[in-house]
């Protein structure tokens, strides 16, 4: 999750900045959001290079923690990952997904249907300083 942001997304940040430096794109903050929405729009949620039908590594790590299902879990930069689907299926009741792409979040909401109502969806730029309101 966080590793995704550090290793892959920073590359995307660099690409956006590069374009901006060349004067091709305007405001960087707007571009970042537009960039990620565009990625999900053009490739589709299952066409992105990081797509995995099951978030096996994250699920394995979370499983090893033996957390009670009432534990709050935030998928940071969750995009359209199926992690939230599986955590909900396992009974986790306090789930939040944060991502800059409204398009990605909307795709997951549609996939989850009625179950989406029990998840907090946060469309924010984490680099701009979003922090959870609870600890």
Ligand X SMILES: C[S@@+](CC[C@H](N)C(=O)[O-])C[C@H]1O[C@@H](n2cnc3c(N)ncnc32)[C@H](O)[C@@H]1O
Q: Of these, 16, 62, 95, 100, which contacts ligand X (CB under 6 A)?
A: 100
Q: Of these, 36, 116, 119, 121, which contacts ligand X (CB under 6 A)?
A: 36
80 burial type by CB count under 10 A (0-12 exposed, 13-18 middle, 19+ buried): buried
From the CB of 67, what's the least distance to ligand X, in Å?
19
Judged by CB under 6 A, the stretch of 14-22, 61-69, 86-94, 97-105 that binds ligand X is 97-105
Check residue 96 for interaction with ligand X (CB under 6 A): no
What distance in Å separates the CA atoms of residue 121 and residue 117, rounded to the nearest whole number? 9
Ranges within 51-70 binding ligand X (CB under 6 A): none
Binding residues for ligand X (CB under 6 A)? 1, 4-5, 8-9, 32, 36, 50, 77-79, 81, 99-101, 104, 125-127
């Amino acid at each position: 999750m966080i590793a995704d942001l550090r290793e892959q997304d920073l590359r995307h940040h660099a690409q956006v900045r590069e374009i901006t430096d060349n004067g091709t794109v305007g405001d960087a903050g707007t571009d970042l959001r537009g960039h990620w929405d565009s990625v999900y729009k053009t490739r589709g949620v299952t066409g992105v290079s990081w797509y995995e039908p099951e978030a096996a590594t994250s699920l394995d790590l979370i499983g090893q923690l033996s957390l009670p299902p009432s534990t709050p879990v935030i998928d940071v930069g969750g995009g359209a990952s199926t992690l939230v689907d599986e955590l909900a299926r396992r009974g986790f009741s306090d789930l939040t997904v944060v991502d800059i792409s409204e398009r990605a979040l909307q795709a997951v909401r549609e996939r989850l249907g009625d179950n989406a109502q029990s998840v907090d969806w946060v469309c924010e730029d984490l680099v701009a300083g979003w922090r959870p309101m609870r600890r």
